[in-house]
């Protein structure tokens, strides 16, 4: 069983763009099951695509199973009825200490939201956020991509 150990933050300032240095990668994802306890999604970052199943959250950890699937299959799934809204974002990968911070700039109905997440090798791994990261939102469900598909950021009353 694979385990995802992740912390998620709001991004405070555009200083992260200096650290990024490279263009991001467009990702589109749709949800076949939005949990809880399980989330099932299809993600496309052309020319690749994946089917991902995520289990219940325990602290900052959860089971995660991810499988590559043919791009044509992923496109067909995202175009099918019942998938609902598609979450679109540009993902930037930024090295920080011995880890990688992934900054997601959301598009479409989630435009204006910028989140950062860092995957850790263990739940007790120390992480010292750079100054451009703000409030930790790891445990706030509304910032989960599966929730953003159902209730986009632009509809929030903040």
pLDDT digits (tens, 9 = 90+) for 25-76: 999 999 998 777 889 999 999 999 999 999 998 889 999 999 999 999 999 9
Instruction: Say what percent of the chain tops pLDDT 70.
Output: 99
Give the three-class secondary structure for 12.
Answer: coil
Residue among 5, 134, 24, 12 nearest 89 (CA)? 24
Q: Which residue shows structure tokens 């790891």?
A: 138
Whether 1 has a pLDDT exceeding 70, the answer reads no
- In sequence order, the β-bridge partners of residue 54 are 39, 64
Q: What is the torsion angle, in degrees rounded to the nearest 10, for the CA atoms of residue 25, residue 31, residue 32 and residue 34?
A: 140
Does the annotation mark 143 as catalytic? no
Going by pLDDT thresholds of 50, 70 and 90, the confidence category of residue 84 is: confident
Handedness of CA 137, 29, 44, 27 (dihedral sign): negative
CA distance 147 to 151: 6
Handedness of CA 147, 32, 67, 54 (dihedral sign): positive
CATH class of 3-155: mainly beta
pTM: 0.93
Residues 116-135: tens digit of each pLDDT: 999 999 999 999 999 999 99
Average pLDDT, the chain: 93
CA distance 3 to 82: 28
- Catalytic, out of 31, 65, 67, 143: 31
Cα R_g (the chain), whole angstroms: 15
CA distance 62 to 56: 6
């Amino acid at each position: 069983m694979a385990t995802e150990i992740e912390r998620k933050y709001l991004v405070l300032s555009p200083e992260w763009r200096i650290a990024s240095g490279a263009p991001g990668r467009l990702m589109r994802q749709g949800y076949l099951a939005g949990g809880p306890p399980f989330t099932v999604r299809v993600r496309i970052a052309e020319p690749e695509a994946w089917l991902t199943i995520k289990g219940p959250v325990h602290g900052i950890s959860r089971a995660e199973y991810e499988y590559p699937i043919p791009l044509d299959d992923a496109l067909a799934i995202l175009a099918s009825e019942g998938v609902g809204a598609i979450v679109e974002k540009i993902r930037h990968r930024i090295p920080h200490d011995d880890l990688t911070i992934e900054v997601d700039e959301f598009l479409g109905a989630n435009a204006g939201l910028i989140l950062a997440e860092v995957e850790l090798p263990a739940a007790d791994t120390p992480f010292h956020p750079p100054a451009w990261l703000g409030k930790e939102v790891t445990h706030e469900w509304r910032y989960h991509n599966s929730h953003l598909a159902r209730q986009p950021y632009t509809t929030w009353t903040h």
